[in-house]
Amino acid sequence: MKMNQEKKPIIEIGEANFESEVLRWKQPVLVAFSAAWSRPCRVLDSVLEEVAAACAGREKVVRINADNNPDLSLIWNIQSIPTLLYFVDGKLRGRIVGTASKEAILSKLRSVTDGRDSKTLNSDANNEMNTTTKGKEQEL
């Protein structure tokens, strides 16, 4: 039995905690949109576990069930799963659609965290997410 099985490196999040776990998180965050029924997503799961272990303490890796969170999928323009989104300082900085190797995922993560790929992607989604979150809070 591995010692790190007690601490799960990838947590599942949803609409309720997306803002606190991703947009307001101080470290870079890799968000994996997936679904349990998808074979490519299941293949990527083991790769993400390796990525999370390699990034432990520096970057955070989270998973979102796209079927259970359709509003997040719509806001972040998820048209295919799996889709990986890279957030730095609450801003979307990168995207990979489909399966990828550990090396490709880590390379993209390094490029967005060290400033080589510093442009913000789809900044309107950040504004829409904040508006949507506030609207949902008002409904409650």
Long-range contacts of residues 36-41, Cβ cutoff 8 Å, at least 24 apart: 36/65, 36/67, 37/67, 38/81, 38/82, 40/81, 40/82, 40/98, 40/99, 41/81, 41/82
Q: Mean of the pLDDT values across residues 30-34?
A: 98
Beta bridge partners of 17: none
pLDDT at 92: 97
Q: Mean of the pLDDT values across residues 116-138?
A: 50
Confidence band of 119 (pLDDT split at 50, 70, 90): low
Most confident of 46-60, 63-77, 120-134: 63-77
Confidence band of 125 (pLDDT split at 50, 70, 90): low
pLDDT at 134: 45
Domains and CATH numbers, the chain: 3-139 (3.40.30.10)
Confidence band of 8 (pLDDT split at 50, 70, 90): low
Weakest-pLDDT range from 26-30, 111-115, 134-138 = 134-138
pLDDT at 9: 80
pLDDT at 49: 95
